[in-house]
Structure 1
Amino acid sequence: MFATLAQPFPLGATLCDHGCNFSLHNPDNKNIKLVLFNDNQSPRLISLDNQYGDIRYTFVEGIAEGQVYGYQLEDKDGLRLLLDPYAQALNATPHYVEPFTAEQSWEFAKSVVVKHDFDWQGTTLPQIPREETLLLETHVKGFTKRHPEIDPALRGTYLGLCQPEMIAFFKEHGITTLQLLPVTSCMSEPHLLKMNKVNFWGYNSLCFMAPEPRYALHDAVTEMKTMVRELHRHGIEVIMDIVFNHTAEGGEGGPIFHFKRLDKHYYLQDGNKHYRNYTGCGNTVDLTYQPSLNIVLDTLRHWVTYYKIDGFRFDLASTLGREGDRFNTNSAFFKAVAQDPVLKQIKLIAEPWDVGPDGYQLGGFPRGWNECNDKYRDTVKSYWLCKENNTKEFATRIMGSRDLFSAGKWPDKLPVNFISYHDGFTLQDLVSYNQKHNHANGENNRDGHGDNRSYNHGMEGKTTNFAVLYRRERQKRNLMATLLFSFGMPHILAVDLLSHTQGGNNNAYCQDNAISWADWAINKDHDEFRHWLATLIAARKEIMVPFIRAFSGPKRGNHRISWKRSDGHVMNGEDWQKIEAFALFLGLRKDGAEMMFLINHSTIPTRFRLPAGERWRIVCDTSEGTHTTRQVQTTYMQSAQSMTILYRDECQTETRT
């Protein structure tokens, strides 16, 4: 009777009232067997008697949620146990002692049968418009591990991230969307295991559909869903950073977990059948191969359907459109997502590069994809911290990088602007270090990016020098004011809200310790910065969002924009080559609200002449550590190396410029 219940699709382990269907894409191993593990009993071996193409499958009566399983095959070193690539949970945190042998595979983490019943308690998706979205890049463990007000048992967990203290913090700072560093199951690289370290960031995928067990007290599936539900209850979206460009199996000689033995064609190979390493991690997933494309699409639908995930940030996303040595914006993956009734409704954010040929693709992703804008990062840091006179490039970036992302396609093609990311210096370290200090990583400071575009303001690292500290805080305000009032979707690194320092480590991927864990014991200056930033984020929502909407789409030409010298005259071509103090004027319609950016890159104060009319409200002046309620009318003295944002709404203005 139960043989009739056996089906080739869906792949993985699928429960019903009578038992469980097990299905596996496996063209290379005829004698593979399903292994069921039960407490205090010998493993039960079951043949996969049914076949459909390259899929082998069977139905097993009486299987329930929580059943532990794997797949056995004959290896040159003996019998090896493989994970199910479609495993939706693991029974333990993956770990092994180098080298990963066939014998060790039986002691490794195993696949678990999952039933996705969960009470969502009527919560709904926040569905934040892109122009209102404020991304906070957050590590589930790192952000709460040292939080003094959270139950110690919950710190560093999925449940810790949705405690009332954290919800209040996110709401206070106007955060609309958490972008979580990878929460899919991960395996640390062999070189880290040899040094007794872990891949803290999680960019080394093991099973795409299984939540990372490290962040759970008991049940990662239920606890991650609870986290999403509680964040949604308070209107906060959850975006997953997900890694499909490579897997933890690495390149030649790397460990075997599943794909390598089930089907060698999952990965890009050269003519000699060697793995092409276009990711810097040993292998590259080949999305032109149907089974690879299938598991990626099935994984995305899995997270959206069962976990209510609001979107994804794709690591090294050029790989998704890679056809061998070339990138194709019309690749099968992009077309499949665009027509998928589930996936086309969510946020899709690309890191638009990998390390292979034709890999840098900023601006090259299809409509509906937002892209991490590294040109914005480099330009803004160079302008404020490296004293580069790149005014024209700076102006282009704050206006939404329209050389790369046409405003006619906004808001769905708004760039994702950022100053700091998980890889690179934190905001505090950007203004405190000239050089990277990655010695704790065990690679003799050779790892990590050398092009940081940072400035220590006279002293490397920690200092009590008041003048240095003042300059650092001012530059932090310059960077964040620029970010929040540029056209785009701002991305903030969560620990930057706390002015967290990593001691100059710009590649803390293996630091599961105080280097990476957010420091909540902040000093007076950093607490002032936190409150200043929260106020500015609120001002962005009030003021900047309507301007982004207005300057997007077909009616963007109905509004006013001009670039002016400090004397009030419009800038000419020569000004763009040498000017150090200039203003950006923006106006809605013929007589709507207006904004001005007064930007002084020079080392001396500069007086700006303002357009005639009613008083301007000072949104922020980055030379000041607190916000003001002052208003100005005809001129404004801008301090050296700082900027001010002015605003007046339409009901205040009588005369227009």
Structure 2
Amino acid sequence: MSKPITAVWPGRPNPRGASWDGEGVNFALFSEHAEKVELCIFDPKGRREVQRIELKERSDLIWHCYLPEARPGLLYGYRVHGPYRPQEGHRFNPHKLLIEPYAKDIVGTPNWSDAHFGYRIGSKHADLSFDRRDNAIGMPKCRVIDQAFTWGNDKPPCIPWHDMVIYEMHVKGFTMQHPDVPAQFRGTYAGLSMEPPIEHLKRLGVTTVELMPVHAFLDDRHLVERGLRNYWGYNSIGFMAPDSRYSASGHVSEFKTMVKTLHSAGMEVILDVVYNHTAEGNHLGPTLSFRGIDNSSYYRLVEDDRRYYMDYTGCGNTLDMRHPRVLQLLMDSLRYWVQEMHVDGFRFDLASALARELHEVDRLGTFFDTISQDPVLGTVKLIAEPWDLGEGGYQVGNFPIGWAEWNDRYRDNIRAYWKGDGGQIGELAQRLTGSSDLYERSGRRPHASINFISAHDGFTLHDLVSYNDKHNEINQENNRDGSDNNNSWNCGVEGETDDPEINALRARQKRNFLATLLFSQGVPMLVAGDEMGRTQHGNNNAYCQDNEISWLAWNLKPQDQDLLEFTRYIISLRKAHPLLRRRYFFHGRPIRGGEVKDIVWLNPEGFEMSESDWAQAFSRCLGVYFAGDTLLETDDRGRVLTDDNLLMLINAHHEDIAFTLPEFDGHYYWDVLLDTINATGTPEIVRYKAGQGYPVGGRSLVVMKQALIP
């Protein structure tokens, strides 16, 4: 603003935030316990506060005004006056410039100093003291935007759950080293919108891109001071604003262009969202937004000493979903990203924390009830990380109908099985067929299980077969961070090696993991780079590594190119066979009035598994026959689906096993579709007769289809 704003009108309490209507800007901020609210206007570079405007209107605890002279591009923040009594939960401090919770654009990052804290650091009584230093010069600023955007004929791809292949990626890490993305666009929304990255996703067979957090977030002070960054972004401070560090243009419209481009390529966009906590941390954290606007309303506080925070997240605080205005903020945020940004769904970080009505996790919590009846949110993809760090927080299998869940029981079992642990085949059968033990009783379908072998948190697929132990020293936490329970196996040598036999085994293990994932019922989720052998050199908690450790490398070695081709092939097999992506659970019952069941579990002799077979702790080889000539399912147009009868042979033993090929409905032959012994998975065209023994290699997986003609 070149001139001071002179006209201040009462404005409206709705909508929340700064809203440009074509003539002026309405400002509305919730604070239940504030005594005075000031809107602070800054120069175009955000370095100088040029004006303060008191919001004198207050309606239903919403402070508001209208500035007919304001325009998009205006930089602003708030100062909120009120009591500073931490023991009662109040931490108002008007010396601290605050980010507005409904800001649609947040410019800059904090220049960390003691001035960002509401108390005097190092004082005798810590957070009970009061700091009068002004922090505005080092604070990010909110920016008014014009939300207009030409979406044209953009519409959601609406991929059916059972057809989805999710690809979890980091916006920056995916293109930061891509040789075919111009340098100025690498690591940005614009870079992800370009043809080479999108072509990689299309050729791979991805249907759904799941973006790690893009809500505006902060780098923790302790990381910045050690030369690190909060790379993953699970440290939100603005639930409406796309993080500007991923923007080449500096405009919110760049994110919209990315979504529109991915939609045009036939792919959905799901956001990983962090609504369980904020970047302000515990009682010793900075005062940046919610804490200074109305601490006792926004956060869960310890009832008998409201100086402290309930921490179900391990991040210092937990948002109070019991408060109607907090619940409204989250719902408004979700609707904004669907309606204004056109995203197709959400993955909720530590979702159990959102369900805590009192102390316990309530599966029918207000948050989930509100979403289920919402006409906008009830139609998008909803995925829960079904745990938090509080008591009773592990809730895998307990989320409501309409929700899918990250299934860590799938991850743990598949890892343990291919590592060679005994006693796994009983649970393996459950995980391969969609985890009906977790989801069917509540009326959910196989797609409720989001199956994954690896995720952003933990070892990459390559490291899973290359390291027994984590190697996180570079995180500067003395290797104490990250999980010690990885179910990994280094195949004989810790870390990289030139031993050709070990490298061959590792390559085969990676193929085994990927094939198991893509041929399991449920929704498969790949992590960006696993299809190309990406390594973090044994770091299983690279949250603070904004560098080559986390970024994808695109200069592929021959074995990485082979793995990429293998992944493309098995995804194409999954798409070609409806039997591998059923909408309903198997039940092991005869079909078509005959004797053949929809699924049959087989021992190496080619006979149906007996009770004693299942009970053998040493058993590591299993066959499964899928009857697919009539699926008893229909597609979205009502057409009856048919498929080949398929046979999967799985051998986690270190030695070859001669598996007797079964005979069903007469004398059939078997064509090999996949054998992970081969580097790219595609075998020579070979036909085997029923009753013949097939040599299933040590630590390998085979898929065959049944043929009538010899």
TMscore range, shorter length:
over 0.9
CA-CA distance at 1:616 after TM superposition: 2.4
1: distance between equivalents of 2:221 and 2:65? 34
2: distance between equivalents of 1:22 and 1:552? 55
1:114 is the counterpart of 2:142:
no
Ranges in structure 2 where 5+ consecutive residues have no aligned partner: 1-5, 85-92, 118-132, 632-641
Change (3 A) 1:74 1:362: same
Letter in 1 for 2:656: P
Q: Percent same amino acid among aligned pairs?
A: 38
Alignment deviations for residues 193-232 of structure 1 (CA, whole Å, 9 cap, x no partner): 2212110000000111111111112224111111111111
1:36 is the counterpart of 2:52:
no
Q: Is the 8 A contact 2:162 2:581 kept in 1?
A: no
Letter in 2 for 1:129: P
Change (3 A) 1:536 1:355: same
Match of 1:332 in 2: 366
Change (3 A) 1:216 1:547: closer
Q: Is the 8 A contact 1:408 1:552 kept in 2?
A: no
1: distance between equivalents of 2:14 and 2:497? 61
2: distance between equivalents of 1:62 and 1:632? 80
CA-CA distance at 1:105 after TM superposition: 3.4
CA-CA distance at 1:266 after TM superposition: 1.1
Change (3 A) 1:90 1:493: same
**Match of residue 277, structure 1, among 311, 331, 334:** 311
2: distance between equivalents of 1:405 and 1:638? 32
1: distance between equivalents of 2:109 and 2:499? 45
- Kindly report which structure 2 residues correspond to 1:461-476, keeping only aligned pairs within 5 A, or say none: 461-476=495-510
Letter in 1 for 2:703: I
Match of 2:638 in 1: none
Match of 2:677 in 1: 623
Letter in 2 for 1:442: Q
CA-CA distance at 1:320 after TM superposition: 1.2
CA-CA distance at 1:553 after TM superposition: 11
1: distance between equivalents of 2:446 and 2:71? 43
1:204 is the counterpart of 2:209:
no
Change (3 A) 1:556 1:342: farther
Q: Is the 8 A contact 2:401 2:444 kept in 1?
A: no
Q: Is the 8 A contact 1:485 1:544 kept in 2?
A: no
Q: Is the 8 A contact 1:411 1:553 kept in 2?
A: no
Match of 2:210 in 1: 179
Change (3 A) 1:633 1:194: same
Secondary structure at 1:509 match in 2:
helix
Ranges in structure 1 where 5+ consecutive residues have no aligned partner: none
Match of 2:615 in 1: 577
Q: Is the 8 A contact 2:32 2:297 kept in 1?
A: no
Secondary structure at 1:261 match in 2:
helix
2: distance between equivalents of 1:207 and 1:514? 27
Query: What TM-score, normalized to structure 2?
Result: 0.88
Match of 1:638 in 2: 696
Letter in 2 for 1:584: V
Change (3 A) 1:531 1:112: same
Letter in 1 for 2:700: S
Change (3 A) 1:616 1:549: farther
Secondary structure at 1:307 match in 2:
coil
Task: Give the root-mean-square deviation of aligned CA atoms.
Answer: 2.3
Q: Is the 8 A contact 2:604 2:658 kept in 1?
A: yes
Match of 1:418 in 2: 452
Q: Is the 8 A contact 2:12 2:26 kept in 1?
A: yes
Match of 1:262 in 2: 293
- Kindly report which structure 2 residues correspond to 1:205-354, keeping only aligned pairs within 5 A, or say none: 205-263=236-294, 264-271=296-303, 272-273=305-306, 274-354=308-388
**Match of residue 668, structure 2, among 614, 628, 634:** 614
CA-CA distance at 1:78 after TM superposition: 6.4
Alignment deviations for residues 552-586 of structure 1 (CA, whole Å, 9 cap, x no partner): 79999776111111111111111112223221111
Q: Which moved more, 1:417-426 or 1:102-111?
A: 102-111
Change (3 A) 1:610 1:356: same
Letter in 2 for 1:92: G
Change (3 A) 1:93 1:189: closer
Change (3 A) 1:232 1:555: farther
1: distance between equivalents of 2:444 and 2:31? 44
CA-CA distance at 1:393 after TM superposition: 1.0
1: distance between equivalents of 2:289 and 2:587? 46
2: distance between equivalents of 1:261 and 1:303? 26
Change (3 A) 1:556 1:379: farther
CA-CA distance at 1:590 after TM superposition: 6.1
Match of 1:60 in 2: 67
Change (3 A) 1:466 1:270: same
Change (3 A) 1:261 1:550: closer
1:565 is the counterpart of 2:623:
no
Q: Is the 8 A contact 1:134 1:489 kept in 2?
A: yes
Secondary structure at 2:529 match in 1:
helix
Secondary structure at 1:518 match in 2:
coil
**Match of residue 432, structure 1, among 451, 466, 471:** 466
**Match of residue 588, structure 1, among 622, 628, 636:** 628
1:356 is the counterpart of 2:390:
yes
Alignment deviations for residues 385-412 of structure 1 (CA, whole Å, 9 cap, x no partner): 2433311011111111111011884547
Q: Which moved more, 1:215-224 or 1:587-596?
A: 587-596
2: distance between equivalents of 1:416 and 1:59? 46
Q: Is the 8 A contact 1:275 1:282 kept in 2?
A: yes
CA-CA distance at 1:551 after TM superposition: 3.9
Alignment deviations for residues 48-104 of structure 1 (CA, whole Å, 9 cap, x no partner): 121112111111112111111111235877622111111010122344245624522
1:602 is the counterpart of 2:653:
yes
Letter in 1 for 2:515: A
2: distance between equivalents of 1:431 and 1:518? 18
**Match of residue 404, structure 1, among 431, 438, 449:** 438
Change (3 A) 1:603 1:552: closer
Match of 2:108 in 1: 92
Change (3 A) 1:97 1:346: same
1: distance between equivalents of 2:568 and 2:114? 47
1: distance between equivalents of 2:446 and 2:376? 17
Query: What TM-score, normalized to structure 1?
Result: 0.95
2: distance between equivalents of 1:95 and 1:384? 48
Secondary structure at 1:404 match in 2:
helix
Secondary structure at 2:185 match in 1:
coil
Q: Is the 8 A contact 1:586 1:594 kept in 2?
A: yes
**Match of residue 165, structure 1, among 192, 196, 218:** 196
1:47 is the counterpart of 2:54:
yes
2: distance between equivalents of 1:359 and 1:547? 30
Change (3 A) 1:334 1:74: closer
**Match of residue 98, structure 2, among 68, 82, 88:** 82
Q: Is the 8 A contact 1:130 1:411 kept in 2?
A: no
Change (3 A) 1:542 1:551: farther
